[in-house]
A = this chain, B = another copy of it.
């Protein structure tokens, strides 16, 4: 078993200015722990890293067939997107297919995560720009399949959320009672599961085994869509988009808020899930690349292609590089 890189450092000049602790677990679908760092049995909210499973619940209910959803629709449903014009167009197209309106989305509006898109907006941002708008549109599709109202779709007791959480429980081998649920930034329920259980769920996404056949089929469809349309999973300059591309169809990955990052490793038949203990996003990609490299899921050329995410420039307001965010040490 590897012991992994437990820290990501932030340097300024020649000196470490700040340091982030990392907890992580990698596990094969058979339950072999490949890597364990930190409190891997403590439940943590997966946040948006759960989106592939949320999208799978929509597919499992038959929404892909009924509404003719394509890879782009499923990728944007699984996305924490940048709010770039193509992302907004994709959410609009998805809403049109399911006969819903932007006004039906209860995610709230925030400025596009991609700064050039935010600066280019002539009007205030809308719900479509929310990085979770595709997921919310997917939940509306699930409401349609379940003949359930749109109005209260944010509630944990709503049939759509119950269907989503039930799938997440099955793939995680875990139970999400009230003590495991919180409210996400976009208003939907989020569940906490241990890094160990989360790693197992991503191992299953990697192998499509140890699953009910309908769950496996739905996850296969979502996985193929994320691999086919990586831009729609995140966007320009984003780590998930670049890692999906560098992975050449052999890594399926998703970040979550508060420093979560999860990957399904198809060649290893394993999942890797990490959490930056203090919740800071900047440390997640350097940590993920270091651990994926140690696990042998990324080779030197792939790591090199991801260089700007492995060693992130700290710049001053004038744009000069004054420091670096990077994994510290290793084993």
Selected contact of A279 from candidates B18, B187, B318, CB within 8 Å:
B18
CA gap between A180 and B45 in the complex, in Å: 39
Contacting pair B19 A277 (CB below 8 A): yes
| Cα–Cα, bound, A17→B47 (Å) | 10
Residues of B within 8 A of A278 (CB): 18-21, 278, 280, 283
Q: Is the CB of A109 within 8 A of B182?
A: no
Chain B residues whose CB sits within 8 angstroms of the CB of A243 once the complex forms: none
> In the bound complex, how far is the Cα of B186 from the Cα of A317, in angstroms?
6
* Interface positions of A from 272 to 289, Cβ below 8 Å from B: 276-280, 283
A182–B316 contact, CB under 8 A?
A: no
User: Which B residues lie within 8 Å of A182 (CB)?
Assistant: 12-13, 15, 17, 322-323
Q: Is A44 an interface residue (CB 8 A)?
A: yes
A179-B15 in contact (CB<8A): yes
Q: Which residues of B lie under 8 Å from residue A280 when comparing CB positions? A: 278-280
Assign chain A's interface to a size class: 35 or more
- In the complex, A19→B20 CA distance in Å? 10
For A277, give the chain B residue with the smallest CB separation.
B19
Q: Assembly of this chain: how many copies? A: 2
Q: Give complex CA distance A107, B316 in Å.
A: 9
Instruction: Give complex CA distance A279, B21 in Å.
Output: 12
A320 — which chain B residues lie within 8 A by C-beta? 183, 187
Report B-chain residues with C-beta under 8 Å of the C-beta of A3.
none
Q: Which B residues touch A322, using CB under 8 A?
A: 182-185
- Interfacial chain B residues near A130, Cβ < 8 Å: 317
Interface: A158 (CB within 8 A):
no
Residue from the list B279, B318, B323 in contact with A17, Cβ < 8 A: B279
Q: Which residue of chain B is the closest to A10 with respect to CB atoms?
A: B279
Q: Flag if B20 contacts A317 (CB, 8 Å).
A: no
Contact A15 B45 (CB under 8 A): yes
Q: Does A249 sit within 8 A of B, measured CB to CB?
A: no
Interface flags, A302-331, vs B, CB<8A=1, else 0: 000000000000001111101100000000
Q: Is residue A138 contacting chain B, with contact meaning CB distance below 8 A?
A: no
Q: Are B316 and A108 in contact (CB under 8 A)?
A: yes
Contacts of A180 in B (CB 8 A): 15
Task: Pick the 6 closest A-B CB pairs, nearest first.
Answer: A18-B279, A108-B317, A13-B182, A12-B182, A278-B278, A183-B322
27 residue pairs A–B, Cβ–Cβ below 8 Å: A10-B279, A12-B45, A13-B181, A13-B183, A15-B43, A15-B182, A17-B44, A17-B45, A17-B182, A17-B258, A18-B258, A18-B259, A18-B277, A18-B278, A18-B279, A107-B317, A108-B318, A109-B317, A130-B317, A182-B322, A183-B316, A183-B322, A184-B316, A185-B316, A186-B317, A187-B316, A280-B280
